[in-house]
Amino acid sequence: MDRGPNPRDEDPIARRARYFLYAIGAVFVALGFALEMVPMFAAVTPWYSGRASAAVGVVFLSIGRFGSDRFVRRCEALITGWP
């Protein structure tokens, strides 16, 4: 079933910003997973640090997935400092 062109593919700057937010979110989720599951890290970190890091990653992933093009571009500019 062809749904036609995706409007999110029209703006290449917003697409790059989405990929950037996906990458940042994935890093935070992986860090949270490592802090919870690796025994060496789990022994020295507080119990909430892994969950908080994963939650921050989920926020970045959600912004990248559900944010409008304008909002995603603004988030990337805020994080990187690039206009």
In a domain, 57, yes or no: yes
Residue 28 inside a domain? The answer is yes
Q: pTM of the entire structure? A: 0.84
The pLDDT tens digits of the residues spanning 59-69 come to: 999 999 999 99
Cα torsion at 65, 67, 70, 71 (round to 10°)?
A: -120
pLDDT over 90 (residue 83)? no
Q: Is residue 2 part of a domain?
A: no
Residue 48 covered by a domain:
yes
**Count of domains for the chain:** 1
Q: And the tokens for 38?
A: 């690796």
20 contact partners, CB below 8 Å, separation of at least 6:
64, 76, 79, 80
Residue 64 domain boundaries: 11-80
Q: Are 22 and 61 in contact (CB under 8 A)?
A: yes
- Percent pLDDT > 70 in the chain is 89
Give mean pLDDT, residues 51-72.
96
In a domain, 6, yes or no: no
| 69 CA to centre of own chain | 15
